[in-house]
Amino acid sequence: MLAAHPDNFDALYLTGLLEMNEQQYAAAIEHLKAAAAINPNHYDVRYQLGLAFFKTQQNEAAREQLEKAVALNPDEAQAHFQLAQVLRSLGKEDEAQAQMRLYQERAQAEVKRALAANKSSKADKALKSGDAKSAVGLYREAVAARPDDPIMQYNLAQALDRAGDKAAEQTALEAAVQLRPNFPEAQNRLGYLSALAGDTAAAEQHFRNALAAAPSYADAANNLGTLLGQEGHDREAETWFRSAVASNPRYAPAWVNLAATLASESRFGEARSAVGAALKVDPSDAEALRLRQMLPVSSADRQQSPAAAGSAAPRPQKQ
């Protein structure tokens, strides 16, 4: 491959790796230098080149390459370790010790990442099998290993939801959004919990936060529309329901909510169309079927009965 494509990055890099494995350091240096000229921001090229220079006792060149590797990926433990060895060979003991401390920190972080990934994988399986209690325990172990990971906090919150522990779920969600304020799923779920608790101001803010982070997030748009509709802001609610179905035309609950809002404004023709869209997605949707029966059959039927007026309340979604 290299003979056919002497200027190909992959051919040069992979040839250099093979030569490193065979301890052919001089040849590896030439190929890795050529690869670095093509892609100077490739971490492993810089790391392998620094290692090859160190193996051939070209310590200043090794230091230069390893420092570039560290700059490209500060979280890679091994580059810090090799740089410490080079600095020590150059008599720079203080700098070498600083790199060793960084190596130890990064190595511990890698162990914690691996532990968290293992616990999270087991928790996923427990949750899928219906064992929410075990999933909660495993996710808590994952969070303990990676307390700064908002995804771990959110996964814990989902397990707590399945376990029925709303207070602990809210705590986990709040930790997730503290770590990542623009986390739309966590913001949306916090909005739902706030709405359940009767804190409509907080719920509205969370839904708006979710939509600011993800403008096409249909669930959050539907939930915000539901909240606004319950507060009597039908026009704005309609806007958000339309946003939800524009983002996800197969989102039946948002179509039903839109239909209910239109019906409350006596816009029966549009309401029938929205109900039809919901039933096209899910012909068995009970709310859509009920609303279709209650809507006047033609635009001439404008006189609502008490049963038809405001009968189909918008439905919020959990997620």
CATH class of domain segment(s) 9-91 = mainly alpha
Per-residue pLDDT for the chain (319 aa), expressed as one digit of tens each?
889 988 999 999 999 999 999 999 999 999 999 999 999 999 999 999 999 999 999 999 999 999 999 999 998 999 999 999 999 999 999 999 999 999 998 888 888 888 888 898 998 899 899 999 999 999 999 999 999 999 999 999 999 999 999 999 999 999 999 999 999 999 999 999 999 999 999 999 999 999 999 999 999 999 999 999 999 999 999 999 999 999 999 999 999 999 999 999 899 999 999 999 999 999 999 999 999 999 987 645 444 443 443 444 555 665 5
DSSP 8-state class, residue 114: H
Amino acid at 231: E
pLDDT at 298: 60
Report residue 169 as tokens.
């779920």
**pLDDT, position 319:** 52
pLDDT value at residue 318: 53
Pick the CATH number of 211-319 from 3.40.630.40, 3.30.360.10, 3.40.190.10, 1.25.40.10: 1.25.40.10
Identify the CATH homologous superfamily for domain 112-180. Answer: Tetratricopeptide repeat domain (1.25.40.10)
DSSP state of 235: H
Report the half-sphere exposure of 239 (CA within 13 A, side-chain side).
5
Dig out the tokens for 204 from the structure. 């509205």
Backbone angles phi, psi at 314, to 5 degrees: -55, 145
Tokens of 102: 């960084």
pLDDT confidence of residue 304: 46
| Number of Cβ within a 10 Å radius of residue 38 | 14
Mean pLDDT for all residues in the chain? 91
Domains 9-91 and 112-180 share a fold: yes
Residue 312's pLDDT is 46
For residues 220 and 207, what is the distance between their CA atoms, to the nearest angstrom? 6
pTM of the entire predicted model: 0.68
For residue 210, the model assigns a pLDDT of 97
Domain extent listing, the chain: 9-91, 112-180, 211-319
